[in-house]
């Protein structure tokens, strides 16, 4: 089988989830922008700032009131959509997470958002007051080491707050031996200490794996649902894809790409923010650019601009995901009887379990998909044959290789 298909019952569910995802993304963005605009028109920004000013006259301390207030507002705006999506995922068997656990995760996420978001916004407004014309540049410079630290620390301190991880060597030592064969096929040494299994089955039914971290925190995570739902050859295919991210330095490349995009993003946001504040000073009841009454306007600008940046970020993501697909198929060559058929079968199985539609709208793919559509990935895997006479593998050749120390 080279074409991705779904049986009629699963196709009907997949279409419902697909359209729900489209409405939640595009409709959710429009909903958030509209509510923020209406709140600004009725003077919510000034009212929240005045409330903080009655507590303390110091602008820095006012931020510890104004920033959390707006972050809670944003969370409340998005909450109905999040609730509806979780209900739908439960109904169609994508999620098995009880509502009690869902609310606990929601509370943890909100707590992290309030702590990190308040700190970030406080620094941002301090820079706006100190450097009205260059604050966006200083903020970009500061964001670079912060992003690096976040990539390093998230797998160690944040991810375990939401999911349980254990050494893969303890959970399935036989599988580790198989995965080490894939590592050797790519002339790569990934120590078992950097292989983990995540207890995803407590929340979802679909399989997955991913690479995360940086430096000594870099690791490959295989979900327990992957081990449960896929035969060993297909697990090797999924793992080989993640090994591709590891070998091809996609985390580092992603960070460099992010640095470039955020530089442009901050500059455009700076220009739009100034324009909105000057244009809507009276109607939005904003005192000045560096006053906390302008925070709602800044969030509105970031939401709108972020919406238009998504296709750029997703195009880059689809590019590196395709590279990892190519690497993965090359890595399992010689380890499974038919790498093309194995890789294609793994995509068919993943699509069935996650209820991916066979033919998504090209515009939706362009704007919202972080991975190539399953139908494309499966078709490419089935027909990719760099070992045919006159062809050559892209990544795993006689002189290719890497090592991690």
pLDDT tens sequence across 239-263: 999 999 989 999 999 999 999 999 9
Asked if 81 and 200 sit in the same domain, the reply is no
Say which residue, 216 or 313, is predicted with more confidence: 313
What pLDDT is stored for residue 69 in this prediction?
A: 97
> In terms of C-beta density within 10 A (0-12 exposed, 13-18 middle, 19 or more buried), how is residue 393 classed?
middle
Are 135 and 124 contacting, i.e. CB atoms less than 8 angstroms apart? yes
CA distance 181 to 286: 62
Nearest CA to 133 out of 271, 292, 294 is that of 271
pLDDT tens-digit series, residues 374-385: 999 999 999 999
Asked if 207 and 73 sit in the same domain, the reply is no
pLDDT tens-digit series, residues 70-91: 999 999 999 999 999 999 999 9
Nearest CA to 139 out of 302, 6, 17 is that of 302
What pLDDT is stored for residue 400 in this prediction?
A: 41
> In terms of C-beta density within 10 A (0-12 exposed, 13-18 middle, 19 or more buried), how is residue 362 classed?
exposed
Neighbours of 41 (CB within 10 A): 13
Q: Which residues pair with 222 in a beta bridge?
A: 197, 209
Asked if 115 and 188 sit in the same domain, the reply is no
Q: Which residues, 6 or more positions from 122, have their beta carbon under 8 angstroms from its beta carbon?
A: 60, 63, 64, 67
- Answer whether residue 389 is part of any domain: no
Asked if 80 and 136 sit in the same domain, the reply is yes
Q: What is the DSSP letter of 284?
A: T
Dihedral through CA 125, CA 128, CA 129, CA 133, nearest 10? 180
Asked if 149 and 264 sit in the same domain, the reply is yes
- Answer whether residue 391 is part of any domain: no
pLDDT tens-digit series, residues 152-206: 999 999 999 999 999 999 999 999 999 999 988 877 778 889 999 999 999 999 9
Domain boundary among 288, 311, 334: 311
Domain boundary among 295, 311, 327: 311
Confidence of residue 31 (pLDDT cuts 50, 70, 90): very high
Q: What's the token pair of residue 284?
A: 């939005």
CA distance 143 to 109: 21
- Answer whether residue 195 is part of any domain: yes
Asked if 131 and 175 sit in the same domain, the reply is no
Is pLDDT of 401 > 50?
A: no
- Answer whether residue 256 is part of any domain: yes
Asked if 175 and 228 sit in the same domain, the reply is yes
CA distance 232 to 42: 59
Are 179 and 246 contacting, i.e. CB atoms less than 8 angstroms apart? no
Nearest CA to 396 out of 189, 183, 239, 197 is that of 183
* Largest distance between two CA atoms of the chain: 78
- Answer whether residue 400 is part of any domain: no
Asked if 153 and 70 sit in the same domain, the reply is yes
* Number of structural domains the chain divides into: 2
Domain boundary among 289, 311, 333: 311
Nearest CA to 209 out of 165, 262, 160, 253 is that of 165
Is pLDDT of 233 > 90?
A: yes
The domain containing residue 62 runs over which residues?
8-162+251-311
Asked if 118 and 222 sit in the same domain, the reply is no
Confidence of residue 284 (pLDDT cuts 50, 70, 90): confident
Is pLDDT of 398 > 70?
A: no
Triad 234, 361, 212: Cα angle to 5°: 45
Asked if 58 and 191 sit in the same domain, the reply is no
Q: Which residues pair with 196 in a beta bridge?
A: 167, 221
- Answer whether residue 324 is part of any domain: yes
CA distance 94 to 97: 9
- Answer whether residue 191 is part of any domain: yes
CA distance 301 to 262: 14
pTM for this one?
A: 0.92
Q: Can you say whether residue 369 is alpha, beta or left, with left for phi > 0 and alpha for psi between -120 and 50 degrees?
A: beta
Asked if 335 and 267 sit in the same domain, the reply is no
Nearest CA to 278 out of 289, 264, 267 is that of 289
**Entry field: residues in the chain:** 405
Asked if 39 and 71 sit in the same domain, the reply is yes
Sheet strands (E) in 88-194: 165-167
Mean of the pLDDT values across residues 26-47?
Answer: 96
Say which residue, 389 or 21, is predicted with more confidence: 21
Is pLDDT of 307 > 50?
A: yes
Mean of the pLDDT values across residues 101-121?
Answer: 97
φ and ψ of 220, to 5 deg = -110, 130
Is pLDDT of 269 > 70?
A: yes
Is pLDDT of 2 > 80?
A: no
- Answer whether residue 20 is part of any domain: yes
- Looking up residue 198, the CATH number of its domain turns out to be 3.30.2010.10
CA distance 266 to 251: 22
CA distance 168 to 194: 9
């Amino acid at each position: 089988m080279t074409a991705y298909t779904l049986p009629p019952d699963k196709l009907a569910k997949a279409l419902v989830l697909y359209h729900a995802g489209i409405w939640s993304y595009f409709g959710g963005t429009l909903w958030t922008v509209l509510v923020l605009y209406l709140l600004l028109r009725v003077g919510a920004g000034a009212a929240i700032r005045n409330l903080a000013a009655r507590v303390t006259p110091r602008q820095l301390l006012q931020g510890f009131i104004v920033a959390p207030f707006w972050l809670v507002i944003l969370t409340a705006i998005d909450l109905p959509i999040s609730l509806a999506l979780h209900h739908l995922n439960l109904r169609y068997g994508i999620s098995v997470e009880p509502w009690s656990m869902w609310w606990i995760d929601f509370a943890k996420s909100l707590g992290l958002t309030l702590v990190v978001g308040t700190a970030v916004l406080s620094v941002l407004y301090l820079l706006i007051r100190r450097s009205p014309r260059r604050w966006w540049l200083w903020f970009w410079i500061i964001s670079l080491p912060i992003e690096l630290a976040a990539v390093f620390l998230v797998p160690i301190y944040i991810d375990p707050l939401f999911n349980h991880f254990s050494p893969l060597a303890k959970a399935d030592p036989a599988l580790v031996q198989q995965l080490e064969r894939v590592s050797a096929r790519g002339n790569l040494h990934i120590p078992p200490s950097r292989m983990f299994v995540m207890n995803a089955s407590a929340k979802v039914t679909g399989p997955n794996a991913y690479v995360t971290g940086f430096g000594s925190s870099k690791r490959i995570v295989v979900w327990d649902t992957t081990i449960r739902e896929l035969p060993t050859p297909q697990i090797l295919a999924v793992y080989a894809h993640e090994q591709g991210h590891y070998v091809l330095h996609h985390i580092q490349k992603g960070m460099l790409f992010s640095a470039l995009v955020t530089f442009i993003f901050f500059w455009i946001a700076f220009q739009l923010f100034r324009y909105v504040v000057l244009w809507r000073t009276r109607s939005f009841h904003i005192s000045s650019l560096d006053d906390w009454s302008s925070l709602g306007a800044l969030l509105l600008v970031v939401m709108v601009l972020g919406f238009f940046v998504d296709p750029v970020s997703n195009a880059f993501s689809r590019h590196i995901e395709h590279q990892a697909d190519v690497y993965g198929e090359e890595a399992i060559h010689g380890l499974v009887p038919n790498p093309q058929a194995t890789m294609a079968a793994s995509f068919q199985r993943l699509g069935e379990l996650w209820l991916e539609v066979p033919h998504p709208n090209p515009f939706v793919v362009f704007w919202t998909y972080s991975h190539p559509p399953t139908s494309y990935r499966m078709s490419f895997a089935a027909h990719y044959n760099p070992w045919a006479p006159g062809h050559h593998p892209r990544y795993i050749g006689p002189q290719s290789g890497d090592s991690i120390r």
